Amino acid sequence: MIAEFTERYRRAVNDPDLRPRLLAFQRSWRESRDAQVALLEQRTERSFDELRRDFAEVKDATLDRIDDYIAEFRANAEAAGATVVELTTAEEAVEYIAGVCKARGIDLVVKSKSMVSEEIELNDELAERGITAIETDLGEWLLQLAEQRPSHLVMPAIHQKRQYVAEILGEELGREFDPDDIPAMVASAREGLRRHYLAAGTGLTGANALVAETGSIMVVTNEGNMRLATSLPDVHFVTAGIEKLIPTWADAERQLQLLPRSATAQTLSTYTTCITGAQPGKEMHIILLDNGRREMRLDDTIGAALRCIRCGACANVCPPYQVVGGHTFGHIYTGAIGLVNTAFHHDVEAAAGPQGLCVSCGACETVCPVAIPLPRQILQIRRRTTESGHAPRWERWLLRAWSAPQLFRAAMKLGAVASTLARAVGLVRRDHIRLPLPRRLNWRSIPAIPSQTGSDLIDNRQPQPTLESTPASGTTVDLFAQCLANRLMPDTVDASARLIEAGGANVNVPPNQHCCGLPAFDAGDWETARRMARAAIDALSRADHRIVTPATSCVISMRDHWPQLFRDEPQTLSRANAVADRVHDLAAWLDGPGRLPDGCLEQEESGSWTAHRFCQSSNRGEPGARIDLLVERLTGETSLPLEEAEVCCGFGGLTSIAAPEVGEGIIERKLECIMASGCETLLTNNPGCALHLRAGAVARGASHNTQHYADFLASRLPDDPPS
């Protein structure tokens, strides 16, 4: 049985060894994978995006005619001596396998790695029927001995340390092992498994691809156990989802270009085994399982998840996965793909818990070898879990309070009064309140709330003098201040206005603006998100001005989320699109319509800086994401290099509240990179990032200053610009 999500989460965050092991793995994999992809691009003279798009088209076209390809595969496989059965549910698959075993008098099954067998919980189900299943993949066998589930699609035991492996093997084989003598442990495991191969009546494998034109299966592994499991026993079962079908061997070659490089950062896996039909005198049963897959295909957004080739790359770049591992960041299927398909293969409740761990950074989509839009799909599943009543009650109440501007502003005013009192009694340091917090929260500090908003500051000063004429000179720009920035970072809002004015445009702050709806949308509460988005659309539709905001996340929300929210409301959708078409990220504005000239801002004689780039905009290739290049262009100063500059900081909206240990683990990784850079100032381009990184740095006692790049640039505007 799979433990409840809260139990799995607690176990993961209390494991002191898990984070460093997974971090070392992720960094090593990324370096090797990127090198392999570069070599592939060089050899094929095509980009990774082109290659994955081609294979994605193959998968989509196959799924569009899935019944035709099932029929073709069945005809060719059966002509070669195999038996092919198409089954609808996990229960049917279990009953079929158990029935064949009972009819043949088989009570021992040796298994090579098969995620579908995990999906249908085959081992436990067979055990209840008196049939023993033995895993022969080394990692899977170790987990079976430890009574655990795989924590990764490709490397199932990646969460285990060698000391624990030595202990488990010692108990099973009756001898002691040196944890540092890995070859000895592997050799002993090989000996321990051999007796099962010789005694088993059937072997079971998965399939990485089912080739319709010949009725063949293709299996990609790094261990030779699969070949023993298929050649020694008299009966061979293949368990595969119907989405594993591809038309031709040419398509299989395309898959082999992408799969090993994405899974284990290899040019080619050690073994690529292709089997067509049963061996003479033996049986081969190929089980094509639906188990929710056809339902997935009917969903416009979710259907692309069926392209998945089970490489695990989405987990290998996922910051929350690095903190809690696959047992928590998933159900049976782990990583970002697990957040999507669990709702269909199992149920919405099984998918609900891990949803709150995703920080929506978008890294998973950048490495997916079949271009699955995982971030968008996860948000759709999160919506389903919320609408089915699985969202935390505190989250629903918080979002409803957030969506009420008057209540939000009243709460902020009370916070400002409390912050003023805290300053008076000496509890504020570096604009953060020093209060004892519970252990789960003490890795960050509480920002003191200023007494004025950003719009107040703009209203109470004279316009910034123009530096130089730009294409935007003489026009009026509406500034979308953003809810967090306007109240918690008013200087950033004012700095944004000053930079726009320096390019010759007039700045107007539309009244009654509040929030674009992003927090509620990300949380899956689309009803609240619609209410907030409508209010933002009303506030920004009163003029036909260009709209600029210092919050990159809001630009993404308006352009991507609003069309989803209002797809069934044509009139509102038209108004939403009209607003979104006029929205600019501040950095893109300063490099575009309001372009300030190169070197126009004053240099500082001292003060090194580096830049954390907002993960969503970086992973999407958004204009203006490279704020380091913008700052270098305007100031003539050079940024210090920052390792993992585009890896998420861990804010993730409500994730850092619902799962603070995840926020802590990710920000620790980020702060280590920042401090290693030796910078005096860290720049970033989204208010949420700035608040999160500043709160973590202050709590940790880091010496660097954290700023939104708008503050940094505005501080260098000349006092007396040229006339």
Q: What is the DSSP string of 373-407?
A: -HHHHHHHHHHHHHHTT-S-HHHHHHHHHHT-HHH
pLDDT, residue 606, reads: 66
- Rounded CA gap, 585 and 318, in Å? 26
Percent of the chain past pLDDT 70, that is, above it, reads: 99
In contact, 245 and 70? CB cutoff 8 Å: yes
Q: What is the pLDDT of residues 75-84, one digit of tens each?
A: 999 999 999 9
The confidence score (pLDDT) of residue 233 equals 96
Helix (H, G, I), strand (E, B) or coil at 243: helix
Rounded to the nearest integer, the mean pLDDT of the chain is 94
Beta carbons of 103 and 133 less than 8 angstroms apart: no
Q: What is the model's pLDDT at position 39?
A: 97
Q: Residue 182 half-sphere exposure, CB side, CA atoms within 13 Å?
A: 4
**Angle subtended at Cα 310 by Cα 308 and Cα 315, rounded to the nearest 5 degrees:** 100
How many Å apart are CA 242 and CA 293, to the nearest integer?
Answer: 8
Q: 428-429 and 432-433 as β-strands: parallel, antiparallel, unpaired? A: antiparallel
Residue 534 predicted with pLDDT over 70? yes
Distance CA(185)–CA(162), nearest Å, equals: 10
Question: Which residues share a beta bridge with 332?
Answer: none
Residue with tokens 């519970």: 438
**Mean pLDDT across 453-477:** 93
Yes or no: say if 423 and 433 are a contact pair by the CB < 8 Å rule: no
Q: What is the mean pLDDT of residues 33-59?
A: 97
Give the DSSP H or E segment for 99: helix 90-104
* Single-letter amino acid, residue 11: R
Q: Is the pLDDT of residue 279 over 70?
A: yes
- Which of 177-191, 346-360, 491-505, 578-592 bottoms out in mean pLDDT, i.e. has the lowest? 177-191
Cα(429)–Cα(698) distance, integer angstroms:
8
Q: Which position has the higher pLDDT, 719 or 696?
A: 696
The reported pLDDT for the residue numbered 510 is 96
Phi and psi (nearest 5°) for 358? -70, 130
Give the whole-angstrom CA distance, residue 709 versus residue 586. 10
172 pLDDT above the threshold of 90: no
The answer to whether residue 506 scores a pLDDT higher than 60 is yes
The bridge status of strand 209-211 relative to strand 216-221 is antiparallel
The region that residue 292 occupies, defined by phi over 0 for left and psi between -120 and 50 for alpha, beta otherwise, is left
Q: What is residue 186's predicted lDDT score, i.e. its pLDDT?
A: 85
Judge residue 438's burial from the number of C-beta atoms within 10 Å of its C-beta, 0-12 exposed, 13-18 middle, 19 or more buried.
exposed
Which residues face 110 on adjacent strands? 134, 203
**Tokens 């081992």, located at residue:** 123
Beta strands 583-585; 546-549: pairing state: parallel
Mean pLDDT in residue range 33-43: 97
CA 582 – CA 427 distance, rounded (Å) = 43
Helices (H) and strands (E) in the chain, counts: 36, 20
Q: Does the pLDDT at position 674 exceed 60?
A: yes
Residue type, 99: G
Residue that wins the pLDDT comparison between 186 and 490:
490
Distance CA 218, CA 207 (A): 6
Residue type, 498: R
Q: How far apart are CA 229 and CA 517, in angstroms?
A: 53
Q: What is the pLDDT of residue 254?
A: 97
* Helix, strand and coil percent figures for the chain, each rounded to 5: 50, 10, 35
> What pLDDT score does 292 carry?
97
pLDDT for residue 722: 59
- Residue 187 is predicted with a pLDDT of 86
- Count of other CB atoms within 10 angstroms of residue 179: 15
Q: What is the pLDDT of residues 424-444, one digit of tens each?
A: 999 998 999 988 889 899 999
pLDDT average, residue stretch 395-408: 92
Supply the pLDDT for residue 181: 84
What is the helix (H) or strand (E) element at residue 100, kind and residue range?
helix 90-104
pTM of the full predicted structure?
Answer: 0.94
> Which residue is listed with tokens 């269909």?
344
b/e for 704-718, b at 16 or more Cβ within 10 A? Answer: bbbbbbbbbbbeebe
* 149 pLDDT more than 80: yes
Angle, CA of 692, 697 and 698, to the nearest 5°: 100
pLDDT at position 571: 97
Reported as type and span, the H/E element at residue 165 is helix 162-173
Distance, CA of 526 to CA of 191 (rounded, Å): 56
pLDDT, average across residues 373-378: 97
**Rounded mean pLDDT, 471-477:** 94
And the tokens for 391? 């969202």
- What is the arithmetic mean of pLDDT over 132-154? 92
User: Is residue 496 within 8 Å of residue 548, measured between CB atoms?
Assistant: yes
Q: How far is CA 99 from CA 93, 95, 451, in A?
A: 10, 6, 73
CA dihedral 171, 177, 181, 182 (to 10 degrees): -10
Q: What is the pLDDT of residues 202-238, one digit of tens each?
A: 999 999 999 999 999 999 999 989 999 999 999 999 9
Tokens 């500043």 found at: 694
CA–CA distance from 503 to each of 507, 564, 589, 625, 685 (Å)? 11, 34, 10, 20, 19
Residue type at 598 in one-letter notation = D
Per-residue pLDDT band at 723 (split at 50, 70, 90): low
**Least-confidence region, from 1-15, 256-270, 473-487, 520-534:** 1-15
Q: How far apart are CA 586 and CA 597, in angstroms?
A: 15
